[in-house]
Every structure is written in structure tokens, then in C-alpha cells.
């Protein structure tokens, strides 16, 4: 069996970034394809007909969709080195819980910051900081959510860091002031090659401004 791998992605997507980090951590060679989401390729529509979204990891011509499912798949297939999930079922369940929390609460409230104004935006900021604070409590004294090693939850959350600058500009606040521990953790992650390769937050903000213009949002 061959080992042909391709990632259909979009560079500013934090979900795509998760899969890029996982592949880099495992040293997997793959072809990267950046999609034009306003004009989705035939390949993307064929590989993810249900959601028509990126990221899609195509491994030996078979598609795997949904970022956290892809990360788990990568962890299982390239299982020799650098395990991302713990082997203990309880610790594994905890890791899945916190990655799910990152999606349901952290990402959701972060996105609300740039989607809303006035009172709604103030609530979004409050929720975002509250959710980050709850999340960061899980670190305890550990350097990573994975404990001593960079793991699944770190992979799940660190991409949102590239969007912090955008949230801060949209909401006129600084994450570091309300949640310095998360910035400390992020900077630690940024020392890893796989995370260094993520887009510059300023570039992400520029993209966001373009996106707003395109969508006609003020």
C-alpha cells in the first residue's frame, strides 16, 4: 500500500492549521493544496460532498474530514512517534473533552467578538476570556495541555492564537491583560517547528479585513 497524502486546506483556517501541525509533528510528507473557498475545487466537492469544507486529508485517495477527526486519524496511522493522544482511556476522554470545549466555547465566543457590536460584543469578549480562563486552568503546573509533552489539546487550541490579534483589534482588548497564562503557553508552543510554521497573526488580520470588505461588514 502506498502512502500518498494530500491536504485540502485554506491557510487562515484554524481548523486547517490543526491538521498541518499534526502532520508536521509526525513528519508526514504530503501535498498541500490551498483552496479558493469562493470557487471550491471539484476535488474538494468530491472529497467532502457532505459539508464541502476544508480541511480534508486525503490519504491513499480516501478522504478524512473534520479537523479533530483528522488529527486523531493521523495520530493512529503514524503511531510510532510522538503520540498526540494519551493511551489511557480516561485521559484520552479528558483530552477529547477539552478539544470539544475549545470548539464549542472558545472558538464560538471568539468568532462572536468580530461578528457583533455594542453590548453583544462586550458579552462575547467576557465569554471568550472566561472560556480561556477555564481552559488554561487545566494546564496546572504543566508546560502543555498534554502534560510534559505537546499533545492533542495543544494542537486543537494553538491555531486560535493566530486569530487572537484579530479578536483583539475587533474588540479593542488584549488577551494578555486578562489571561496572561494562555499567552505564556502559546509562546512556549511557538518554539516548536510545527507551530512556528503557522501564519503570522498580522497576516491573518489582513485576511480578515479583506473578508469583511468582501462580505460588506463594517
Place of cell 479585513: 209
Contact 68, 103 (CB under 8 A): yes
Q: Which residue lies nearer to another protein by CB, 92 or 192?
A: 92
For another protein, the closer of residues 27 and 196 by Cβ is 27
Q: How far is the CB of 205 from another protein (least distance, A)?
A: 28
| Closest distance of CB 46 from another protein, Å | 15
Closest distance to another protein from the beta carbon of 165 (Å)? 27
Q: Which of 74, 78, 56, 51 is nearest to 155 (CA)?
A: 74
Residues that bind another protein (CB under 8 A): 50, 59, 62, 64-66, 69-70, 72-73, 76-77, 89-90, 92-94, 96-97, 100-101, 134
Residue whose CB is less far from another protein, 77 or 169 = 77
Sequence length of the chain is 218
Cβ burial, residue 40 (10 Å; 0-12/13-18/19+): middle
Q: Which is nearer to another protein, 100 or 206 (CB)?
A: 100
Q: Write out the DSSP string of 4-29.
A: -EEEEE-TT-HHHHHHHHHHHHTT--
Amino acid at each position: 500500500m502506498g502512502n500518498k497524502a494530500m491536504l485540502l486546506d485554506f491557510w487562515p483556517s484554524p481548523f486547517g492549521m490543526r491538521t498541518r501541525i499534526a502532520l508536521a509533528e509526525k513528519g508526514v510528507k504530503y501535498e498541500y493544496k490551498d483552496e479558493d473557498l469562493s470557487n471550491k475545487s471539484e476535488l474538494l466537492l468530491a472529497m467532502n460532498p457532505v459539508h464541502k469544507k476544508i480541511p480534508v486529508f486525503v490519504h491513499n485517495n480516501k478522504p478524512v474530514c473534520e479537523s479533530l477527526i483528522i488529527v486523531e486519524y493521523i495520530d493512529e496511522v503514524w503511531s510510532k512517534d510522538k503520540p498526540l493522544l494519551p493511551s489511557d482511556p480516561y485521559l484520552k476522554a479528558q483530552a477529547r473533552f477539552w478539544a470539544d470545549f475549545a470548539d464549542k466555547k472558545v472558538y464560538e465566543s471568539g468568532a462572536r467578538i468580530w461578528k457583533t457590536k455594542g453590548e453583544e460584543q462586550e458579552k462575547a469578549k467576557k465569554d471568550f476570556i472566561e472560556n480561556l480562563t477555564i481552559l488554561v486552568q487545566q494546564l496546572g503546573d504543566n508546560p502543555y495541555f498534554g502534560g510534559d509533552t505537546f499533545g492533542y489539546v495543544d494542537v486543537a487550541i494553538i491555531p486560535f492564537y493566530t486569530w487572537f490579534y484579530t479578536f483583539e483589534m475587533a474588540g479593542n482588548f488584549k488577551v494578555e491583560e486578562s489571561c496572561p497564562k494562555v499567552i505564556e503557553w502559546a509562546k512556549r508552543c511557538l518554539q516548536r517547528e510545527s507551530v512556528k510554521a503557522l501564519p503570522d497573526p498580522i497576516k491573518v488580520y489582513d485576511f480578515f479585513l479583506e473578508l469583511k470588505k468582501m462580505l460588506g461588514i463594517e
